[in-house]
Chain A
Amino acid sequence: MSFICMDHVTYGYGNTPVLNDINLCLGKGEVVSLLGPNGSGKTTLLKVLLGLCRPQNGEVRLEGRPVRQINAKALARRMAYVPQTHKISFAYRVIDVVLMGRMPHKPFFFRYSTQDEAQALKALEQLSIAHLRNRPYTEVSGGERQLTLIARALAQGADILVMDEPVSGLDYGNQIRLLAQIATLADHGYTFIKTTHFPEHAVWISDRVVMLKGGKVLANGHAPMVVNEENLYLLYNTDIGMADLDEGLRVCVPRNMLGHFKKRKPVDSFNYFTPNPLKQVI
């Protein structure tokens, strides 16, 4: 049975269509990566999915039920939005940001109860960042901020996490740790729908990859099948080679970099002014 379905979804700002007749079906517990060049409609697709943008045509269905018929709080209990790491103006504590996730479970006038606080703390502990709970959200690192937002989604009780470029702005180590965290949560039954600019990340942790170009679906299917040289060329207009490492882990390398790479010479000044950096390290 289809879990989340988009039927003939068309959406545009003004007269320019951003999404053009999108048909997609996503399964429960899948990690779905949306790949596509800038302006291909990835973020808009997420917004339509979340009910932030109402499609001019077509319908989004969650377990067969049109999303626009589900009220905002009920939808929030199923589906959580994890935005790109953002710098907010006010330095709320990490635990207070996570507590906001309890909002869809509360009546109109409310106070967060001790249960809510325990839920928020549990969400933080599931991501092993409970020790950050009293730190200002604005002062933790980008990776920790992204984890905080994921914790908020968990506290929300949602089983579908919609993430817009979750790794953007993170250092390489944090990117990888975040991907591992997503994969672990997916093993526990959470469904992830995320956009990314890294084909590799899509292959490594996704079950399904959807490629978008010019508001249309270019390819949709099992990640290792869809992410191939041919599709990547069509998607990015760049010649990208793919190789499998020893155990079959797939990596992408842009071929046109080879020429540039070979032209690089050792920089003279480097030899004169800097002692061998390797020696320093040792």
Chain B
Amino acid sequence: MRNRSSFIAELDSAIKKGTMILPEKTVVLMPLLLFLLFAAAVVSLSLGRYPVTWSDIYDFFTAVLSGQSLAGCRKLQILKNLFIDIRLPRIVAAMLVGASLSVSGAAFQSMFINPLVSPGLLGVLAGASFGAALGMVTTSTWFAVQISSVAFGLVAVAAAVGMAAIYRGDRLLMLILGGIISSALFTSLLSVVKYLADPYSQLPAIVYWLMGGFSAIDAETVWAVCIPMVSGIVVLISLANYLNILSMGDEEARCLGVNVRLIRMMMIFPATLISALTVALGGMIGWVGLVIPHIARMLVGPDNRKLLPASAVIGAIYLLVADDISRLAFTVEIPIGILTSLVGIPFFALILAKSKKGWN
């Protein structure tokens, strides 16, 4: 037993000099997860209809890294086409979507102090689905569909936040109610669009889109959304300190000097943007944003400083593997949204039953 006053003196000198008092925790999990993600990406690159051997991958990347020109070799040309233009964009898209949905899910769960919340809480997914469907019916270009999807995702959340601002009362509760209203509104508008769509061409396209999938991915779109999605994820992770405080309740957060409204909006905007972008990239992919944060919480605990990065990486791995299964399991591709729900729901039920602490 240490003497108390000497311990306090020791702490005082630590405060002055900045020496370590608490032993540094050995963090093996994050490097491990990142390695798993890298491994999953490399394996995914090798999987597919066109047979590729490990030595092909090795040859290709040594050629690229050594700066060798690919033009001379036909085989390398084919491999470049396969890896860089076809498989890599899809792999990156799956990782981005998985990471985005998981991070915004985790952030929303802490912000709304409710472990049952998912990224669609404020209506972004409903709005983005409606936007995509509307785009499919009224425009002919894929780009317009994606723009419309993102735009209506943002509009739906703006509507929810606007409604919450008008009504008096508990801010969080009003935001949730605004989200419910906004979601319901855009879901019914989606039904209207479905009803008006051409039942032979447009309606199947909408329905198929809403099941989620990366088969329509093109390289340019992926590289274009890469920057906003990664920066959205980075912003959310860099505000994780505030999430811990927000989850103690508004009044406490304000008494700790936090501008609660500003921080909340600073988190809702990137979360909404990256969620809307997931719909533009891969349609509706359910359950990722709810299940992955729970798995991450069981691994690293509830501290958002660790939870958000862990959620991002685990979500990326999860959706990457799910996408591999969806494109390889059967001769016809299974929509990934169906897969994530079918796998996610029982898995979720299982881990909740097994975990003693519930969502702690």
Contacts and interface: CB of A to CB of B under 8 A. Distances in A.
Interface stretch (A1-9, A108-116, A180-188): A108-116
B113 interface: yes
A104 B252 CA distance: 12
B248 interface: yes
Contacts of A50: 255
B254 A72 contact: yes
Contact of A88 (B14, B241, B248, B257): B248
Counting chain B CB atoms within 10 Å of each CB, the highest count among A79, A83, A92, A110 belongs to: A92
Contacts of B195: none
- The SS class assigned to the B binding surface is loop
Interface in B89-137: 110, 113-115
Given A88-B248, A92-B244, A76 B257 contact: yes
Contacts of B56: none
B170 interface: no
A12 to B, nearest CB: 14
Contact of B11 (A81, A83, A118): A118
A234 interface: no
Interface residues of A, number: 49
Given A89-B247, A121-B11, A114 B256 contact: no
A139 to B, nearest CB: 9
Nearest to B241: A110
A36 interface: no
A104 B256 contact: yes
Contact of A81 (B115, B241, B252): B252
A119 interface: yes
Contacts of A112: 241
A96 B303 contact: yes
Nearest to B22: A117
A67 interface: no
A119 B302 contact: no
Given A89-B113, A90-B360, A96-B244, A117 B21 contact: yes
A239 B258 CA distance: 45
A75 interface: yes
Given A80-B255, A90-B360, A121-B22, A100 B244 contact: yes
B1 to A, nearest CB: 10
B7 interface: yes
Interface string B288-307: 00000000000001110000
A117 B247 CA distance: 20
Q: Which 4 A-B pairs have the closest CB atoms?
A: A76-B257, A73-B257, A81-B255, A91-B360
Interface of B: 4, 7-8, 11-12, 14-15, 18-22, 110, 113-115, 238, 241, 244-245, 247-249, 251-252, 254-259, 301-303, 357, 359-360
Interface of A: 47, 50-52, 71-77, 79-81, 83, 86, 88-93, 95-97, 100-101, 103-104, 109-115, 117-119, 121-122, 125-126, 128, 130, 133, 136, 138, 156
